[in-house]
Amino acid sequence: MNRMATAGKWVQTWLASHGVELGLCLRVTISAVLTFATAHLLNLAIALWAVLTAIILTQLNVGRSVKATTDYFIATVGAAIYAAVVGTLVPHADEISLLAALAIAVAPAALLAALNTRFSAAPFTVVLVLLAPTITHAAPLASALERVMEVAVGGIIGLLVSILVLPARAYNLVIEAAAQILEVMARLLPALFAKFTQPVDDALILSAQNEITAAFMRLEAIAAEAKHERMTRFTAEADQGPLLRTVLRLHHDLVMIARAALVPLPEAFHARLEPLLARAAEAAADYLRACVSALRARRGPPALDAVAAALDAYDSEMAALRREGATRELPVDAVEHLFTLGFALDQLRAHLKDLARCVSEFAPSYTHSIAATSLL
């Protein structure tokens, strides 16, 4: 019984953590089956090509499916027309002439695909249009029309299935990707601030920074896909651009803080600034985690009071140290790093405020309540 319970929990955990992949599995299966049935109803000569098209164009999310379908259809139509012209104008009654026609048709299509990945389907289509008549005994123009029909059937069904069957929206994936980056930032902040007063494993900091950089590259790719799926939406959605820019600016703030921490604070400053920096790091990390929860729940942003109070306390203590002349005897590089830290903290405060505005834009109820309040 214990083994069965453990196995059951493992299955539940696995299913919960692979929901996106399972959704894609279901969509691809439905696309293949529906396309095969439709191809037979329309009496397409080779149903295989339509089914393969549907499988290729049923992507991980709606935005990627829209882009893939658009690119694939444009490449296919253009290549089919070109291959039909070559097949009509270049005689290929024997094997040698067929090889010559194939070379004339494939070379430009392959060059175009190499220059622009949007046309990667062009060489494949050219080959099908030229060589399919050797199987179906159709004319080049009829072969081209058949190929376009196959892509149209497979593409339309694949796109409809992507939109209607457990749709994975790139729009939602962007928000989740941004939330994951903010979680890494929250984990990194305490280590960065601690480095000003005590030894910290640089490998851990570098690993987190690299993780953020790689995650942001994925975020940009998903955001580009989200733009393509706007045509499938019938309601207005918040612009994701400000969120991406704010996440990137927060990353820059952390990089600036890391550079400032290359030179530790002077020993005389430790007792007075260490607890304030620790408090600021904790408050900022808690705020980032609260923003992550708010983004995922589509609710209003958390209060920034704790972060503001912690940063104000640091600013006040630094001002007191300057009034006391504590900075006058410091080396130039130490003063430069203190200035860099102060500037980075100011930027962090400003960008956390920007993050609050971004979070509020994804919370319809919060936005509406603010708008209603402003009218009173």
pLDDT in tens, 273-295: 999 999 999 999 999 999 999 99
Specify the DSSP element, H or E, that contains 223.
Answer: helix 202-228
Q: What span, in angstroms and rounded, lies between the C-alpha atoms of 42 and 45? A: 9
pLDDT in tens, 92-111: 677 888 888 889 999 999 99
Q: What span, in angstroms and rounded, lies between the C-alpha atoms of 216 and 213? A: 5
pLDDT in tens, 168-183: 677 788 888 999 999 9
Q: What average pLDDT score do residues 312-320 get? A: 92
pLDDT in tens, 201-258: 888 888 888 899 899 888 888 887 777 666 555 455 667 889 999 999 999 999 999 9
Under the banding of pLDDT at 50, 70 and 90, the label for residue 58 is: confident
Flag whether pLDDT at 1 surpasses 60.
Answer: no
Per-residue pLDDT at 246: 95
Do 225 and 170 meet the contact criterion of CB atoms below 8 Å apart? yes
Q: What average pLDDT score do residues 68-92 get? A: 86
CATH class of 170-375: mainly alpha
Q: What average pLDDT score do residues 26-35 get? A: 92
Which one has a higher pLDDT value, 2 or 212? 212
Flag whether pLDDT at 372 surpasses 50.
Answer: no
Mean pLDDT, rounded, of the chain: 84
Q: What span, in angstroms and rounded, lies between the C-alpha atoms of 298 and 360? A: 8
Per-residue pLDDT at 193: 92
Q: What span, in angstroms and rounded, lies between the C-alpha atoms of 199 and 194? A: 8
Output the DSSP codes for 336-372. Answer: HHHHHHHHHHHHHHHHHHHHHHHHHHT-HHHHHHHHH
Contacts of 38 (CB under 8 A, 6+ apart): 50, 153, 157
Flag whether pLDDT at 22 surpasses 50.
Answer: yes
pLDDT in tens, 121-169: 899 888 888 887 766 667 778 878 888 888 899 999 988 888 888 776 7
HSE-CB of 329 using CA atoms within 13 angstroms: 8
Least confident window among 4-13, 101-110, 297-306: 4-13
3-class SS shares of the chain: helix, strand, coil, % to 5: 80, 0, 20
What does R_g of the chain's alpha carbons equal in angstroms?
Answer: 29
Q: What span, in angstroms and rounded, lies between the C-alpha atoms of 213 and 211? A: 5
Minimal CA–CA distance to 60: which of 153, 192, 177, 150?
A: 177
Per-residue pLDDT at 370: 42
Can you give the residue ranges of every domain in the chain? 21-164, 170-375
Count of CB atoms within 10 A of residue 323's CB?
A: 9
Flag whether pLDDT at 367 surpasses 70.
Answer: no
Which one has a higher pLDDT value, 125 or 12? 125
Which one has a higher pLDDT value, 366 or 82? 82
Per-residue pLDDT at 369: 46
